[in-house]
Amino acid sequence: MRIFSKNLRLQDITIMYFTALAALMVILVASYQAPNNAVEVSSLKPNPSRPLPPLPMPFRVPLDPRGELQLAWNVSYTNQEIYMELRVAELRHGVVLGMSDRGELTNADLLVLWDSGTQSYFGDAWSDSKGHVSLDSQQDYDLIEAKQKAEGYYLLFKRPFSTCDPRDYVIEEGTVHIIYGFLDKPLASLDKLNLSEIRTGVQRVLMLRPDTPPPTLPPDVQMLDVVAPNVIIPNQETTYWCYIHNLPENLAKNHIVMYESAITPGNEAIVHHIEVFECSPDVPAVPGYSGSCDDKMKPKKLNFCRHVLAAWAMGAEAFYYPPDAGLAMGGPGSSRFLRLEVHYHNPLLISGRRDSSGIRLYYTPSLRRYDAGIMELGLVYTPVMAIPPKQHTFYLSGYCTSKCTQTALPSGGIYVFASQLHTHLAGRGVRTVLVRGGKELEVVQEDQHFSTHYQTIRVLRKMVNILPGDVLITKCTYNTEDRSKPTVGGFGIMEEMCVNYIHYYPRTQLELCKSHVDQGYLQKYFNFINRFHGNDQCVCGEVSVTEQFSQLEWDEFTGEVLDSLYNTAPISMHCNQSTARLFPGDWDKQPIPAVTSVLEKPQYTCKRGTLRTN
């Protein structure tokens, strides 16, 4: 077979060769520089028919410790969409922004802005179990605008809450772990990117916020700053700084109607979260203190300052009380001592930085109709509630029973308008649900991506009315895969809690509505498990509960029986008044409230017309 004609000249062959080579190069360049589905940023044209979100964006948070990235956003509940604006102070060769279950770089939902050396691209992407990045076949981040301004490079884009793409993150109420990264060199192809090889970080935010306008403040409102006294931030990654603030003597009763953060300029990326606690009125004097909250030499009376007055976390906006209610400050039966706690996150180990951050309280002497109150729901702080080691998922539930609400609540009930969820390091999720007549009626608050490193008071989108006879169940999810010993309940950071501090009005004498398993039934559990494993010399009752848990032989059966115990055994109720005394009644060996009907899991409408259930 003759491939070439004998009359074909060498010059013709050369031309054919270079033509084929040029065609191959065009194909290769196109495959590397014009990835399928990605947007070429330079070709983006303004679309006058596309509605822009209201500006400026109401919610914003710095993402990295240097303040190079700032994320702002707005929420459209009508369209089930979030508009986001990312500011990059100094754009090099691109940025990565994404969301994952707990801030992991693996199996993350991403958007990437990158340049190939000649062109810039924007695309929806995802990372696999090893951090390798690929462009998503379904592009759900809609780029609206990309523009260089004096303050930096701005990207304006939007995304639905849910996309029906199994690789995408469902944006729902609760904590969202935002991951970010910087690209310091061009990318010939996005699939050359591995997130483990670039500078990255994580930030936590509440993306879905109430869309109701804040109430108007009264004309006689006054301000009180509870702030750190010009402290030098330690050059270590994590510091909890405590300071005792004294209120004026003989302060008359006022109502706190709003509070917000007061952050020292320049420290916005270091001040992570702030809390203000009221000290117990039973403690007549609390000594002055300004220092580490973990200092073993700090005054012991600081431990009596646990009543949460205000809480703020990075990215949170001002907190407003409902128009009919305010939180009492001053007057008879109150303490004039407040404990400020500031969490500094200083991963760059910056030295010599001074800080006077804290909380600014807005209060009025014109008292509103109702005092607001704070009530603790969930589990009592006790080692009888424990989590086995090596657990991917383990649940504990605390109950506020119908008997307690029937005893303590007024006939019209109370209205819950905000809550603060709380666990320690093993906590992964918290959910409080209202049960009426044995049926789950509505969720008070839920966060299935909860992190103990992000705890703030969350305003409910809709107030919840709790009536006498209602039941409140607070269920916490834990993960102890990294632990070889059981985790018991208690105050230590390596122990666990399951709490929801609900903010409500009108204030009642019910300050704590929590439970724990009956200790007699727990002792029966210890006896049974020890005998099952051939240990007939049980020391049950002779040593502490913590020690009994640690002496058990932990296998799958031991954990399953403990789970069954917690879900069936009688409970002891703590239906406590503000004096810390129980309401009159028999609160031991109470049955676990029966739930005959549960709420369906929320469904989200996707742009392709189907539904995805979380």
Q: 106-132: per-residue pLDDT in tens? A: 999 999 999 988 889 999 999 999 999
Q: For the stretch 322-349, what's the b/e string if a residue is b when 16 or more beta carbons lie within 10 angstroms of its beta carbon?
A: beebbbbbbeeebbbbbbbbbbbbbeee
CA distance 496 to 427: 8
- The fold adopted by the segment(s) 39-206 is Immunoglobulin-like (2.60.40)
- In the chain, ranges of CATH 2.60.40.1210 domains: 39-206
Put residue 437 in one of left, alpha, beta given phi > 0 → left and psi -120 to 50 → alpha: left
Put residue 230 in one of left, alpha, beta given phi > 0 → left and psi -120 to 50 → alpha: left
- What pTM was estimated for this model as a whole? 0.84
Q: Which residues pair with 274 in a beta bridge?
A: 312, 342
- Which among 240, 289, 381, 395 is annotated as catalytic? 240
Q: Does residue 66 register a pLDDT over 90?
A: no
Q: Is 562 in a helix, a strand, or coil? A: helix
- Which among 307, 343, 422, 516 is annotated as catalytic? 422
Beta strand pairing call for 109-115 and 120-127: antiparallel
In sequence order, the 6+-apart residues with CB closer than 8 A to the CB of 462 are: none
- In the chain, ranges of CATH 2.60.120.310 domains: 222-371
- pLDDT tens digits along 210-226: 878 888 899 999 999 99
CA distance 514 to 338: 25
CA distance 365 to 224: 13
Average pLDDT, the chain: 88
If pLDDT is split at 50, 70 and 90, which confidence band does 456 have?
confident
CA angle 296, 299, 300 (to 5 degrees): 85
Give catalytic status of residue 422 as yes or no: yes
Q: In this structure, which CATH number among 3.40.640.10, 3.30.1950.10, 3.30.565.10, 2.60.120.310 belongs to the domain 222-371? A: 2.60.120.310
Q: Is 93 in a helix, a strand, or coil? A: coil
Q: How far are the Cα atoms of 42, 45, 122, 144, 310 from residue 48, in angstroms, in the given order?
A: 18, 10, 21, 11, 44
Q: Which residues pair with 504 in a beta bridge?
A: 373, 416
Q: Does residue 232 register a pLDDT over 70?
A: yes
Compute the 3-state secondary structure of the chain and give helix, strand, coil in percent, each to the nearest 5.
Answer: 15, 40, 45
What is the pLDDT at residue 314?
75
- pLDDT tens digits along 145-166: 999 999 899 999 999 999 989 9
Mean pLDDT calculated for residue range 69-74: 94
Give catalytic status of residue 345 as yes or no: no
Residue 295 CB neighbour total at 10 angstroms: 12
CA distance 436 to 439: 5
Q: Does residue 241 register a pLDDT over 60?
A: yes
Number of H helices, E strands in the chain: 5, 39
- In the chain, ranges of CATH 2.60.120.230 domains: 373-577
- pLDDT tens digits along 306-322: 788 888 887 778 899 99
In sequence order, the 6+-apart residues with CB closer than 8 A to the CB of 20 are: none
Q: For the stretch 24-43, what's the b/e string if a residue is b when 16 or more beta carbons lie within 10 angstroms of its beta carbon?
A: eeeeeeeebbebeebbebee
How would you class 253 by CB atoms within 10 Å of its CB: exposed for 0-12, middle for 13-18, buried for 19 or more? Answer: middle
- pLDDT tens digits along 176-203: 999 999 999 999 889 899 999 999 999 9
Q: Which CATH class is domain 373-577?
A: mainly beta
Are the beta carbons of 233 and 350 closer than 8 angstroms? yes
Among 71-85, 387-401, 433-447, the least confident range: 71-85
Q: Which residue has the tokens 């605390």?
A: 398
For the chain, percent of residues with pLDDT exceeding 90:
65
Among 369-373, 375-379, 535-539, 547-551, the least confident range: 535-539
